[in-house]
Structure 1
Amino acid sequence: MKIPVRTALVLAAAPVLCSALCPAPALAAAKPAPDPWTGRAEATYGSLQKHLYQGPENHGLYQEKTPQQTTDNAHSFLWPMREAAAATVDMAGLPKAGTAYRADAAERFATLERYFEPRDGRPGYDSYLPAPLGQGGDVFYDDNSVVGLSLLDQYRSTGDTTYLGRAEQTFDIVSRGWDDDASKTCPGGMDWVDSPSNTTRAANVTGLAAELAARLYQVKHESRYLKSAQKWYAWNRTCLRQSPGLYRNSRGDDGTVDTTLWTYNSGAMVGTATTLYLATGDHSYLKRAVADADASLAYWKQGDRLHDQPAIFNAIYFDNLRILNGVRPDPAYRQVESAYAERTWKENRDPSDGLFRFQPSGGGDYDASAPAETLEQSAMVQIFAGLATDRS
């Protein structure tokens, strides 16, 4: 079994338990079942590149969606660009086929740097391209957290410490988001955006930043990363946990709580706890990861809940379940992901162009009038490539 790039980094310290992962003797000689996922990953990536990629002549950027309207920005925001980069790293990790995508992955990360704005004292990846390609934008800490996680994926894939250094720099950016105003209800948490007008401390920022810190600690073994990961993870559990595996969206500075549930908030906490277990040997983190994974899966697989979530949120969720599965295998994780991927391939993909279309929320049933978006097309590449790479 080849471990996916994103999973491999956090599993570097984990023992391989053959009793759990190796095939039974009676099955060892059986011919492996055909794998549809590599072909689907390649087809979905090909459609992304054909219909949404703007090419080297446009600085290697993507458009936000297709069809592109004259009122739209010329290029995508940072988040879709990051997901295209994450998708390409996953393609480069495909067994046998991955080498064909390594040059593409290097290009994606060079393009991501076009969103970086040094600023005086408060650098960060802008939500939109700074001059001369765009008008710039705010630094959103959730965007910067996922950029940092992808930089670590590319570092793991290539061994190039340039990416590790950029991930460390991204940690410094998101660290600014910690709210240390003790007068607020449930003090702490990560601000959503680097702006004086911010009034939200969000589960996504805090969980994803904690995961970034935990993964950096695994590589660098610096106490600042461990302390931050533990503090940020603990705030989400204390201040936004609704029940095992389910985390409310955010807390307002006025004390109000947005109770909306999203799959990626569940996933970030599973991935962070698993990584903290691997980094510290503290089994309480593994126990929490398993409890969150099992409870969240029981909730999300009911009815259309999973299908109605944005595809990109599900991609992040499944990626983190794979991290846990590498430590404490459970076939239910892959079964639910496979069922979701199969349904989405059949119901949300337009066979004429290979593009996925969803409701305006990014999830739900096929909507022929909806545009295809770089964000969601990249999410489906990630899901198919993850299934193709990790067949445990």
Structure 2
Amino acid sequence: MKQLLRVGLALIAAVSPLAAQTSPYLEKAEEVSAHIQEHFWDRKSGLYMGKSGGTEPELIWGCGVMFSSLVSAARHDKKYRRVMGDFFEAMDAYWDVKVKIPGYEPARTQGGNDKYYDDNAWMVLTFLEAYELTKESKYLKRAEETLEFVVSGWDEEVGGGIWWHEAHKGGDKNTCVNAPAALGCFRLARFKKDAEAAKWNALGEKIVVWTVKTLQGENGLFWDNIKVATGEINKGQLTYNSALMLRNFLSLHTRTKEAFYLDEALRMGKAANGMMDGQQKAYRDHIKWAHLMVEADLELYRHTGQEVYLKRAISNTEKHYADWKKSPYPDLISQGSLARELWLLVDHTTPVGKEFWKVADQAKGPAK
């Protein structure tokens, strides 16, 4: 009887990609992702709607968050790999090729001049993660094309930095574009040969230096933006700004082994307690920003082994999930943010996820 039971369990594990996983977050991640597929996905177009039951496709920022949740889900459930591929192709509707340097428009386009460099910077990071997972060259190619657009937004006004918007709408240069742009350079360099890798790493370092010099606060966390015309700095500190700069410091430490970068990442990790709502045991920001600090906490935990950062990521995610259970978010970007958080916690409690990040955190990517 015991032998039959063992055989039966082995057969179940063989046919179900989820059965072999053991994570307390797996059921929750599946629940949220299934809800998104039911209420937001338009199977015909391959796109996701911005609102539950809506008819208008999500803007590209939300698409990037949603794609990141699919990439992390696809590590554990193969059905999401097909959805991820379909969604990637569908997002070509946002890709403007009628310009010298193509990039993603905020909405579906027939050619325009309304691109946000930060929207595109987020796409670079999630496409590189998709490439790391699948080894499908289309993701690497589009990541590099998109990054070329992002870095084209650099000029020497106020000493450097990338603009927020290609037509300089708002008149500012923001951490929310420069931080992910620098990380995109570092992440892309992992898949390039020596000369090209050096080029991208050097560009990433230049962006980091400008961002630190211009927008880092006394507490180690990062301010929002600088107005180019006046030099006035918006000293608001949103979680996602510091999250990406923290990850830049970890990336620099991994590659250079210089202690300064790890010290800065740890200083930021401790300072991030100031962005927590003590009563709620979660970051005070909306989940569309806060989920990126959860991701940074998990990377800092992997890098240092300090449990406090894993616990903080768990506390935030559990609070967000509890809110969702009471009343599911009506918008895609919030839903995708929660799904991303949950699947990342699945990563950190399963062999598949741990192995993925063990490789992805290395200074050099796997051979192409």
Task: Answer whether TM exceeds 0.5 for this pair.
Answer: yes
Counterpart check, 1:128 vs 2:114: no
Structure 1 residue 40 displacement after superposition: 0.7
Structure 1 residue 64 displacement after superposition: 0.9
Q: Deviations for 1:144-166, whole angstroms, at most 9, x for unmatched residues? A: 00100011010000011221121
Structure 1 residue 304 displacement after superposition: 4.9
Structure 2 letter corresponding to 1:232: I
Partner of 2:290: 314
Deviates more, 1:248-257 or 1:237-246: 237-246
Query: CA–CA distance in 2 between the matches of 1:196 and 1:229?
Result: 22
Q: Deviations for 1:18-52, whole angstroms, at most 9, x for unmatched residues? A: xxxxxxxxxxxxxxxx7331111110011111111
Structure 1 residue 196 displacement after superposition: 4.6
Deviates more, 1:73-82 or 1:153-162: 73-82
Contact 1:85 1:108 in 2 (8 A): yes
Query: CA–CA distance in 2 between the matches of 1:111 and 1:329?
Result: 39
* Inter-CA distance 201–301: structure 2 relative to 1 (3 Å threshold): same
Structure 1 residue 274 displacement after superposition: 0.8
SS in 2 for 1:344: helix
* Inter-CA distance 305–339: structure 2 relative to 1 (3 Å threshold): closer
Contact 1:141 1:194 in 2 (8 A): yes
| Correspondent of 2:61 among 79, 83, 94 | 79
Partner of 2:27: 39
Structure 2 letter corresponding to 1:377: Q
Query: CA–CA distance in 1 between the matches of 2:256 and 2:338?
Result: 33
TM-score by length of 2: 0.83
Structure 1 letter corresponding to 2:224: N
Structure 2 letter corresponding to 1:228: L
* Inter-CA distance 305–238: structure 2 relative to 1 (3 Å threshold): farther
Partner of 2:209: 234
Partner of 1:117: 96
| Correspondent of 2:51 among 43, 58, 65 | 65
| Correspondent of 1:267 among 221, 240, 243 | 243
Contact 1:115 1:126 in 2 (8 A): yes
Contact 1:41 1:381 in 2 (8 A): yes
Taking the TM superposition and a 5 Å limit, the aligned residue runs for 1:4-19 are: none
* Inter-CA distance 219–323: structure 2 relative to 1 (3 Å threshold): farther
Structure 1 residue 307 displacement after superposition: 4.3
Contact 1:38 1:388 in 2 (8 A): yes
Partner of 1:387: 345
Structure 1 residue 338 displacement after superposition: 1.3
Structure 2 letter corresponding to 1:125: Y
Contact 2:40 2:52 in 1 (8 A): yes
SS in 2 for 1:143: helix
* Inter-CA distance 113–245: structure 2 relative to 1 (3 Å threshold): farther
SS in 1 for 2:72: helix
Query: CA–CA distance in 2 between the matches of 1:301 and 1:224?
Result: 41
Q: Deviations for 1:336-359, whole angstroms, at most 9, x for unmatched residues? A: 1211222222234346xxx22xxx
Query: CA–CA distance in 2 between the matches of 1:179 and 1:296?
Result: 30
Deviates more, 1:271-280 or 1:381-390: 271-280
Q: Deviations for 1:229-283, whole angstroms, at most 9, x for unmatched residues? A: 1111112211111134421100001111111111111110111111112222323
Query: CA–CA distance in 2 between the matches of 1:123 and 1:171?
Result: 10
Structure (1 or 2) with the greater helix fraction = 2
Query: CA–CA distance in 2 between the matches of 1:112 and 1:216?
Result: 21
* Inter-CA distance 305–177: structure 2 relative to 1 (3 Å threshold): farther
Partner of 2:180: 208
Q: CA RMSD in A?
A: 2.1
Structure 2 letter corresponding to 1:347: D
Structure 1 residue 218 displacement after superposition: 2.1
| Correspondent of 2:73 among 64, 79, 91 | 91
Structure 1 stretches of 5 or more lacking a match? 1-33, 357-371
Counterpart check, 1:219 vs 2:191: yes
Structure 2 letter corresponding to 1:66: S
Deviates more, 1:305-314 or 1:330-339: 305-314
Identity of aligned residues (%): 22
Query: CA–CA distance in 2 between the matches of 1:283 and 1:210?
Result: 19
Query: CA–CA distance in 2 between the matches of 1:85 and 1:137?
Result: 24
Query: CA–CA distance in 1 between the matches of 2:88 and 2:29?
Result: 20
Partner of 2:80: 101
SS in 2 for 1:47: helix
SS in 1 for 2:78: helix
Structure 1 residue 67 displacement after superposition: 5.1
Q: Deviations for 1:35-78, whole angstroms, at most 9, x for unmatched residues? A: 331111110011111111111x2x1111111353xxxx731111
Structure 1 letter corresponding to 2:337: A
TM-score by length of 1: 0.78
Query: CA–CA distance in 2 between the matches of 1:281 and 1:219?
Result: 19
